[in-house]
Amino acid sequence: MIQPKEWTPGSKTLVFAHRGSPLLGDFENSEAAFCNALATGAEAIESDIQVTKDGVAVLSHDPTLKRLFGQDLSIAKLAWKEIRAVTRDYSAPLLRLDEALDCFSETTFNLDTKCDAAVEAALPILLQPKVRDRVCVATFSDRRMQRVRQGAKGALATSLSTKEVLRLLRLSYSPRANQLKPADLAKVLSISPEHAGPVVAAQIPYRFKGTFKVLSPNVITTAHKLGLNLQVWTVNNSSEIEQITNPESPLRVDGVITDRLQSALTIRDSFLA
């Protein structure tokens, strides 16, 4: 297990199972999906946190049960017992965050807080001594990320929020980029240093809305100069996976989040033989 605080720029490209990589044949974000992903060789699990009406953190990308369970019900409007009753007849019922972390006690997780309530619901679980060193907390929301960092008081690894990523992208094409060093991270990306803790990764899409290419050598170099692990989501195209895992490629990154786990591992490992 490579802990988030040990993610270093320029090391072997880590392969993350996106929601447990459901293309392997299991329900996403389920115990079966995680087991299968780890058995296949995933080095980390990417998942998402939603919160029930009674404050229970659960692993779900969607705010409702409609897509996976056929029930047009909001997770935030149901108590945990109600959700378990709705999903128990399926082969892969919804998992609580604490269940997943207990069951997969040797696994690194990248966890996206999908709603504001996820901060308060998840932090007491994530800050447990047996958990905190093997999770990286992510979110698109800048405000939510500040609350995570303030609540964690430096004890949790985090990735960049969306606003911080946008600052990184702009900086990557600035004349200032060549002079950057890790000590500049908080200043140039406007991260509050007293609450930042270990900011370990920049997680960006390969393309924005499937068209505009975000990833570039400039972005990778700038992230590395700031001491950040550069990880890309969600990449399923074989030629793109080859580009970003090939050590000789100018687009090689430090981590790939994918649904096509077996393909990504095979391609990545072909360069390590």
Q: In the predicted model, is pLDDT for residue 49 greater than 90? A: yes
Considering the domain boundaries, does residue 9 fall inside one? no
Considering the domain boundaries, does residue 93 fall inside one? yes
Q: State pTM to two decimals.
A: 0.95
- The string over 114-150, giving b where at least 16 C-beta atoms fall within 10 Å of a residue's C-beta and e elsewhere, is bbebbbebbbebbeeeebbebbbbbbebeebbbbbbb
Considering the domain boundaries, does residue 59 fall inside one? yes
Considering the domain boundaries, does residue 6 fall inside one? no
Phi-psi group of 56: left, alpha or beta (phi > 0 → left; psi -120 to 50 → alpha; rest → beta): beta
Q: Which domain holds residue 41?
A: 15-270
| 207: three-class secondary structure by DSSP | strand
The structural domain count of the chain equals 1
Across the range 207-218, mean pLDDT stands at: 88
What pLDDT score does 231 carry?
A: 98
* More confident position, 26 or 259: 259
Considering the domain boundaries, does residue 151 fall inside one? yes
Considering the domain boundaries, does residue 3 fall inside one? no
Considering the domain boundaries, does residue 234 fall inside one? yes
Question: What is the percentage of the chain residues whose pLDDT exceeds 90?
Answer: 82
Considering the domain boundaries, does residue 187 fall inside one? yes
The CATH number of residue 209's host domain is 3.20.20.190
